[in-house]
Structure formats: C-alpha cells, structure tokens
A and B are shown apart, each in its own frame.
Chain A
Amino acid sequence: MDKAIWDIGYLIASILFILGLKKLGHPRTAPTGNLYGAMGMLVAIIVTIAQMEFKVIDNFILIGAGLAIGGLIGYVMAARVQMTGIPEMVALFNGFGGAASALVAASEVFRRINQNDLPENLDLYVAWIAIGLSTLVGWMTLTGSLLAMMKLKGGVEIFGKWYRTPTWGPVWLNYVKGLFLIGIVGLIYMSIEEPGNQDYVIGIIVLSCILGILFVLPIGGADMPVVVSLLNSLSGIAAAFTGFIIGNNVLIIAGSMVGAAGLILTNIMCKAMNRQLIDVLFKSFGGSDKQQVTRTKIGSDPDEVAMICDGISKCVIVPGYGMAVSQCQHQVREFADILEANGCEVKYGIHPVAGRMPGHMNVLLAEANVPYEKLIEMDDINSEIGECDVALVVGANDTVNPAARSDKGPLAGMPIINVDKARVVVMVKRSLSVGYAGVDNDLFYEDNTMMLFGDGKKMMTELISSMKEL
C-alpha cells in the first residue's frame, strides 16, 4: 500500500485537533473539545504504529513499554492531583512536552552522528537548523517550566528542608539572556559547519537549559500563569520544529497551531491582568521594593463579624489566593449556606486573576459544590456591589485594592472588585502585609472594614460556629 494513504490518518488527526482547540474556547463545548483532542491524538498514535515494519522485535517491546509507562504515570498523576495543585501540574506536563521534543531532536542528531548518516546540502541545513531550534525551545521549556512549577508552589523541599523559590532579576540580566541567545545561534551555525561534531549540540543543550532558568527567574509568582501559558506556546513550537526534523505534517500542524493559539491565550491573560506581555517578561515586578506597612489596625473577632452578618439581605464573597492556600472553600460554602438559610442572597465575585491561575477560584468553588451561576464575573458584580450589606474577602488583597483606581503605583489601572462600595467589608487575612504587588492596601484601615486576622480555614470555621451560636 502506498505510504501516502497513512497521511490521510494524520490529516484526520489534524482536523480533530483544530476542532478540539476551537471548541475548548467555549464553555458549553469545552468537554467535547477536549475529547476531540484526545481522539486526534489516539488516531495519530495508531496511524504511526500501524505503518511500522518491525525489523527489530526489541524495539516493539520498547515502544509498548514506553507507552504503557508514560500512560500509567500520566493517568495516575492527573487522577490524584488536588484541585489546588493543578496549576503546578499543568506547568510540569508542559515541561515534559518540551523535553520530549528536545529529546527527539537529540536522539535524531546522535543517531545520525553515530551511524555517520549525515545529510547534505539543503537537507543538512533544514535538519540541523530544526534540530538546533527544537533543542533550544524544548530544553528552555523544560527548565523554565520546572522553575515556574516551583514558583507556583512557593518553594521546594530538598532533604526535608524548605527553600523559598527566589525571584531575582536586575536589568542587566536581560543582556545576559541576549548573550546566551546569540551564543546558541552561533553554536547552531557552527554545528552546521561541522555536522559530525556532537560537542556543539551538547553546548546548545546546556546553554538552552540555563537560558530557560534565567528567563523565568526574574518573574514573580503572580505572573506565573502568563509564563506557563507562554511556555505552553513554546512547547508547541518545539513540537513543530521536531516535525521538520522527521518531515511529519501532523507535528507541524498541531505544534504551530498550539504555539499560535497559546500566544493569543497568553495575550488574553495579560489583558485580564492589565499588563503588557513585554513588561511581564523583562521588567522584574513586585519582587523588590515592597512598601513598608506602617499603619496598624485592630483585628475583629468572629463573634463581632457574626453579629454584623446576622439579618443582612445581600452578601458578596470575594475569594483570593489565600482561600486556595488554606483550602477553606468548603468552609466558605458552609458560611454561605448559613446566610442563605437566614434569607440572605449570597453571590461570589470572581476576579479574573484571583489565585495563581485564571479560573483557579472557579475550580475550587466548584469542588465545594457552589452552583456555577452564583460565581459572578468582576464587571457584573461591581455593578451591584453597592447594594451589598457585607463583602467578605477571603485571602484576596491586590484584586480588591482601591489603589488600583488611582494612577500611581504598580497596581495603577488594574481592574479590581470594588468591595469598598459595600456597607461593611470583612477581610479574612493572616496579617496586614502587602500583597504580591507590594502595595499597602488602604481598605484595611477604613472604618467600615473589619479584619479577621488568621488562617482562612481557622477563621472561617470560627465564624461558622459563631454564626450558629447566635
């Protein structure tokens, strides 16, 4: 049978990817979109295996073993991950994808060098440029994603000791990154001049790994969603370059499409945070010069808050990263249930970048069985917040900081949820410390703001028991 027939299978896979990606962007069709993507992948794998002629039976065992091991690990990881751990997991998988593309490139180049099967002329240029770029982007994606994952966690545990992930990036680091990039391009050029020498390839691998780390190092934890999204885009591009290495259409189509779509998504996410992509990537933000908190505020106790909340008719709950950290979404929901039992209308105000991933809060609250239609997006909740008796802010800070409405400081112009328009604001927070942007929050010191200092889960539990005692 003509080998071209198999390409129809790859075409079908590509179409499924296109439809899948399209459908993933709309709430109602998203599950179908994911299914289409998975089916496309299955078709591509089956077509690839079906057209193999097995000369060496051992390779067949390796292929089976690789698919089984990878599938099992991937499935178990996805099934066992906590909902709060999903951002880290996405970052990790992304790194694996990039590494896989880079390893394919490495495998091909070492095989050719070992077997002395070097291409010539145009083929040499195409193969070696594609290998170089796939190596660059792939390894960068791996080390960058691993660092991003650790930043999302906030730190890493080595031999039982907890190390905070550093954020460090003076302006001159950007020039160092530029030098690394030039160095890599130079090495790609030299590897074409002397294709049989594997040292150049190893040099590209090492420099790319370092570049990935330097790239993510200056970017603070709250911008990680944007970075992960950009790295996702890069891992797609790496796959596309790998497609050039082995001359395969489906890799090129799926890879470059994911690369482009990932870039658009990155941009959409930046817009939601009111940031420019360039600023996120090259201007260290929020890491240094945090404002010192000089003012004090006397904390309230749960009994006081419970009394305020007794008999109110409308309440909005604004969750933030603190809710994710303390895992108190169930307590938040229980509190809302008590209010609703007393005839109060409860809504949730969701800031687009609350948490460490867009949609982070939606997933957590969904886990606590909060009905979807109670989760109100920022613009819609802002229009009715003036009618609210109480705004309960659980572990959020920058996303409700009125300083964003002024035109000064790092938060200037960021859209916020205007909780200060509510009659009483209750903030559950561990301390008065500044948020990620490093800006003090005037809201804490307002007369109509009550601070509940403490861990989210503990404070919400105490609040619930106070409510029950009333």
Chain B
Amino acid sequence: MEPITGGSILIVLITVFVLAIFLGFELITKVPPTLHTPLMSGANAISGITVVGALILLQDTPYTNPGFAAWLAFAALVLATINVVGGFAVTNRMLNMIAGKRGRK
C-alpha cells in the first residue's frame, strides 16, 4: 500500500472539513427560543477545541531563545481553557435554571 503523503493527507483533511460542515447544517433544525442562548453558549464552548492546538504547540516549542512563539501558545492555552471551562459551566448553569424548574413542578 502507498504511504499517505502530503497531498493525500490534505485531501483527507479537506474531506473531513466539508463533511463536518454538512453535518453541522443537519444537526440543528428546530430549536425553541428558550434554548437559543444555551445552544450558542454550548457550541461556543466546543469551539474551544483549539485548546488541543495550543497544547500541541506548547509541547513542541522551546520557551526560551526566542521564547516568543511559546508564550503566544501559552496565551492561547489560557484563553482556550477559559473558553472551554467557562463555556460549559455557564451553559450548565443556564440549563439547570431552565430545566430544574420544570422538574420541580
């Protein structure tokens, strides 16, 4: 079997990209207004996945001489983690408030 090289990997990545876009379009159809804000906030937390990118770069990049690139990755890691943890936590608070009351009736 041919090893997958540069161009082929790119095609695979683009395929994944395009299919995931279609998937995203299909996922959300009818959402009641109550859930618009939590859904936005939850989706926002998922877009914090860039935390993985920050982690990978921070591992590879020497932080001294010149450490500029590493500190950028560090800043990215902090911001992405705020996005992820804060996003899921605040979504959870909102949903508890909406759903919790319903359960208690």
| A residues at B contact (CB < 8 Å) | 17-18, 20-22, 24-28, 30-31, 33-35, 37-38, 40-41, 44-45, 48-49, 52, 54, 56, 58-59, 62-63, 65-67, 69-71, 73-75, 77-79, 81, 83, 86-87, 89-90, 93-94, 96-97, 99-101, 103-104, 106-108, 110-111, 114, 121-123, 126, 225, 228-229, 232, 235-236, 238-240, 242-265, 268-269, 272, 350, 352-353, 357-360, 362-363, 366-367, 369-373, 375, 377
Q: Are A262 and B84 in contact (CB under 8 A)?
A: no
**Chain A CB within 10 A, most for which of B32, B79, B95, B96:** B79
Q: Are B35 and A25 in contact (CB under 8 A)?
A: yes
Q: Are A59 and B63 in contact (CB under 8 A)?
A: yes
In the bound complex, CA of A165 to CA of B9 (Å): 46
Q: Are A45 and B55 in contact (CB under 8 A)?
A: yes
In the bound complex, CA of A59 to CA of B29 (Å): 43
Q: Are B90 and A66 in contact (CB under 8 A)?
A: no
In the bound complex, CA of A66 to CA of B53 (Å): 13
Q: Are B51 and A45 in contact (CB under 8 A)?
A: yes
Can you spell out 30 A-B residue pairs with CB atoms less than 8 angstroms apart? A18-B27, A20-B46, A21-B28, A38-B92, A40-B46, A41-B84, A49-B55, A70-B78, A77-B82, A78-B86, A79-B93, A101-B53, A103-B54, A103-B76, A110-B69, A111-B61, A243-B13, A248-B56, A254-B47, A255-B49, A256-B24, A260-B22, A260-B27, A262-B43, A264-B24, A265-B43, A350-B33, A360-B37, A371-B101, A377-B32
- Interchain pairs with CB closer than 8 A, number: 397
Shortest distance in angstroms between B94's beta carbon and chain A's nearest beta carbon? 6
A-B contacts besides A71-B85, A257-B21, 4 pairs, CB < 8 Å: A66-B77, A71-B81, A357-B37, A373-B105
Interface string of B17-52 (1 = CB under 8 A from A): 110111111011111111111111111111111111
The residues of A that contact B95 with a CB separation of less than 8 Å are 30-31, 34
Q: Are A63 and B42 in contact (CB under 8 A)?
A: no
The residues of A that contact B32 with a CB separation of less than 8 Å are 27, 377
The residues of B that contact A256 with a CB separation of less than 8 Å are 17-18, 20-21, 24
Shortest distance in angstroms between A297's beta carbon and chain B's nearest beta carbon? 31
The residues of A that contact B61 with a CB separation of less than 8 Å are 59, 107, 111
In the bound complex, CA of A251 to CA of B20 (Å): 11
Shortest distance in angstroms between A459's beta carbon and chain B's nearest beta carbon? 26
Shortest distance in angstroms between B84's beta carbon and chain A's nearest beta carbon? 5
The residues of B that contact A83 with a CB separation of less than 8 Å are 97
Q: Are A97 and B50 in contact (CB under 8 A)?
A: yes
Contact partner of A377 (CB less than 8 A), chosen from B33, B48, B92, is B33
Q: Are B88 and A38 in contact (CB under 8 A)?
A: yes
A372-B101 CB under 8 A given contacts A86-B90, A101-B53, A272-B33: yes
Q: Are B24 and A257 in contact (CB under 8 A)?
A: yes
Q: Are A56 and B38 in contact (CB under 8 A)?
A: no
Shortest distance in angstroms between A348's beta carbon and chain B's nearest beta carbon? 12
Q: Are B63 and A56 in contact (CB under 8 A)?
A: yes
Q: Are A66 and B58 in contact (CB under 8 A)?
A: yes
The residues of A that contact B72 with a CB separation of less than 8 Å are 103-104, 106-107, 110
In the bound complex, CA of A161 to CA of B30 (Å): 43
Contact partner of A100 (CB less than 8 A), chosen from B10, B28, B54, B60, is B54
Q: Are A63 and B59 in contact (CB under 8 A)?
A: yes
The residues of A that contact B75 with a CB separation of less than 8 Å are 103
Contact partner of B51 (CB less than 8 A), chosen from A21, A41, A107, A371, is A41
The residues of A that contact B78 with a CB separation of less than 8 Å are 66, 69-70, 73
**B99 CB within 8 Å of chain A:** yes
The residues of A that contact B87 with a CB separation of less than 8 Å are 74, 78, 90, 93, 97
The residues of A that contact B63 with a CB separation of less than 8 Å are 56, 58-59, 62
CB closest residue in chain A, given B76: A103
A268-B28 CB under 8 A given contacts A74-B85, A93-B83: yes
Q: Are A74 and B82 in contact (CB under 8 A)?
A: yes
The residues of B that contact A239 with a CB separation of less than 8 Å are 47-50, 53
